[in-house]
């Protein structure tokens, strides 16, 4: 428990402590089941103990049962009023400016009545928040059920190891958003300073019990991924002095700088003054101490303390001189609320995939493949709208003089009778694939047309426009697109990011009068057009690119195209 530190670090206590509540539970099991997940093997060990002429041999192994008292489900409550934590952040900032301390990690508590079983709670935690240190600890009349991401101290032979975590950012909705979040986290000077201080204090903790010159940082600002957040983590090791062991390592690091602050005595005193209740188990550790001297412990965070039918989750934030009070309050409350919701209401919190309106139901789309490598993804997007997709490959002229996109357009249109003709991207120029001729044929037949990249360029050429060559090719690069949120962009943000693959572009001054620009880049490159009268539209960027994944905008665009253009 957190108060174990009071044995050697006296503080002026503000909160009452119950005398019947121990600060330490040491459990010596006579039976162990050890699971090796890599080998998919499990071993059971049973022991008998003998000392001073006494033995456990033949004795009953089971202990007296302690009945679990279920609570009644209730709304989530917080021990801080709105704005109270932010005020405390301002108080810490003032202290850092005076030089009272460098950083402090105060916390707040969310509580809710819990009507389920502790075991169900543990399984929910494992499913929703898998972590390196997952634990289910039955203390009789209270339980600690958690999934901690952070090691406290690990000792193997003479090597002592810690992995301080400092720097947190939420996960994105997609892998592309995840990548952006990781970049933002690594670029954050505030988060970097936070980890700098934590690692410097951690190195100091080791210098007391490790051999001279053996303390090293072997991992720096490594990214660790969890279900809801990313963390930056350092890895610090040292070699224990000959007269020190794992218990010395535990005591020297008590408690982790990431849960207290720096300098530790001043930070812990401020925590006692700021928090609304004693921490009990939060910020302490759980783990194993082996007779071999090996120690492996995790910090007690991301943990539900279950007692008297009430589930409590405590969460804090490391506060520096440049912390944002309101943001820190939101972060701590979100950390605790997300966790307690996830573990208590896990059955109702299953993620649902994005639902795209079935705008294409009952419609047939003729997909013209201009020998591109993105056609199948685009076709899949169209099929997700519920439309039937028929794909035909365009012919390409060998000499570049031009060829009909479809070898027999009369037969193709007669056979498939499409509700929309979708012209794909492709290499080279539109004329090489006969795209302008195809567009004119569609217009003659009053068929709706949508084009992507080469498709846009072919539509522009068919209607009398001209193309140019970019000074620098945009292949696999993202750009910010500014659009008019109407037509195929109805409901879109006025700015979004999309992927580009093109060297040719529409010369703005040569754009046909019958077309109007719906979107363009910051430097004026046309990114989308639509016909002023006919059901014809196109985009220059690639809706199917991973660079256009954010908020499913690419898929939403295709759904809008099918819904607004198709017959």
- Residues acting as catalytic residues: 453, 542, 544
> How many alpha carbons fall within 13 Å on the CB side of residue 42?
4
Structure tokens at 270: 């401020």
First to last CA, the chain: 69
Measured on CA atoms in the order 435, 439, 440, 442, is the torsion positive or negative?
A: positive
Whether residue 305 contacts residue 144, with contact meaning beta carbons closer than 8 Å, is answered with: yes
DSSP per residue over 292-342, as a string?
A: TS-EEEEES-SEEEEETTEEEEEEE--B-TT--HHHHHHHHHHHHHHHHHH
CA distances from 347 to 14, 102, 124, 173, 279 (A): 40, 42, 8, 20, 29
> How many alpha carbons fall within 13 Å on the CB side of residue 463?
26
Residue 546 phi/psi, 5-degree rounding, is -65, -20
DSSP-derived letter for residue 255 is S
Q: Which of 261, 282, 275, 270 is nearest to 164 (CA)?
A: 261
β-partners of residue 108 are: 315
> How many alpha carbons fall within 13 Å on the CB side of residue 378?
29
């Amino acid at each position: 428990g957190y108060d174990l530190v009071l044995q050697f670090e006296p503080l002026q206590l503000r909160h009452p402590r119950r005398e019947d509540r121990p600060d330490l539970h040491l459990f010596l099991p006579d039976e162990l089941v050890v699971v090796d997940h890599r080998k998919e093997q499990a071993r059971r060990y049973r022991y008998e103990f003998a000392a001073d002429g006494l033995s456990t041999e033949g004795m009953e192994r089971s202990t007296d049962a302690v009945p679990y008292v279920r609570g009644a489900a209730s709304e989530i409550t917080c021990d801080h009023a709105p704005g109270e934590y932010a005020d405390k952040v301002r108080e810490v900032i003032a202290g850092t400016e005076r030089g009272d301390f460098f950083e402090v990690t105060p916390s707040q508590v969310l509580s809710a009545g819990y009507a389920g079983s502790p075991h169900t709670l543990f399984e929910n935690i494992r499913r929703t928040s898998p972590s390196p240190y997952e634990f289910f600890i039955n203390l009789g009349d209270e339980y600690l059920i958690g999934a901690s991401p952070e090691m406290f101290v690990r000792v193997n032979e003479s090597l002592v190891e810690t992995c301080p975590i400092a720097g947190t950012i939420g996960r994105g909705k997609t892998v592309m958003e995840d990548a952006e979040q990781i970049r933002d986290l690594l670029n954050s000077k505030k988060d970097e300073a936070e980890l700098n201080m934590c690692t410097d204090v951690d190195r100091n903790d080791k210098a007391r019990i490790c051999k001279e010159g053996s303390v090293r940082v072997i991992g720096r600002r490594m990214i660790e991924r969890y279900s809801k957040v990313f963390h930056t983590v350092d890895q610090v090791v040292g070699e224990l002095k000959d007269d020190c062991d794992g218990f010395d390592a535990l005591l020297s690091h008590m408690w982790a700088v990431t849960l207290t602050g720096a300098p530790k005595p001043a930070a812990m005193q401020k925590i006692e003054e700021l928090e609304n209740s004693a921490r009990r188990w939060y910020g302490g550790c759980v783990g194993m101490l082996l007779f071999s001297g090996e120690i492996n412990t995790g910090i007690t965070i991301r943990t539900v303390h279950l007692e008297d039918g009430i589930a409590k989750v405590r969460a804090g934030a490391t506060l520096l001189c440049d912390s944002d009070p309101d943001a820190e309050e939101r972060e701590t409350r979100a950390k605790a609320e997300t966790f307690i919701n996830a573990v208590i209401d896990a059955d109702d919190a299953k993620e649902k995939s994005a639902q795209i309106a079935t705008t294409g139901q009952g419609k047939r789309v003729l997909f013209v493949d201009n020998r591109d490598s993105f056609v199948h993804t685009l076709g899949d997007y169209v099929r997700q709208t519920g439309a039937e997709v028929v794909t035909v490959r365009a012919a390409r002229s060998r000499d570049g003089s031009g060829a009909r996109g479809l070898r027999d357009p009369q037969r193709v249109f007669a056979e498939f009778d499409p509700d929309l003709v979708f012209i794909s991207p492709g290499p080279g120029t539109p004329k090489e694939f006969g795209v302008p001729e195809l567009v004119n044929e569609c217009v003659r037949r009053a068929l709706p047309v949508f084009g992507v990249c080469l498709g846009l360029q072919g539509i522009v050429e068919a209607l009398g426009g001209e193309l140019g060559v970019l000074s620098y090719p945009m292949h696999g690069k993202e750009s910010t697109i500014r659009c008019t949120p109407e037509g195929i962009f109805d409901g879109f943000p006025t700015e979004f990011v999309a992927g580009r693959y093109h060297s040719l572009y529409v010369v703005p001054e040569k754009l046909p009068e019958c077309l109007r620009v719906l979107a363009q880049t910051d430097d004026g490159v046309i990114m989308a057009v639509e016909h002023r009268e006919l059901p014809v539209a196109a985009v220059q960027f690639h809706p199917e690119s991973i660079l256009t994944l954010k908020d499913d905008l690419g898929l939403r665009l295709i759904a809008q195209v099918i819904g607004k253009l198709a017959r």
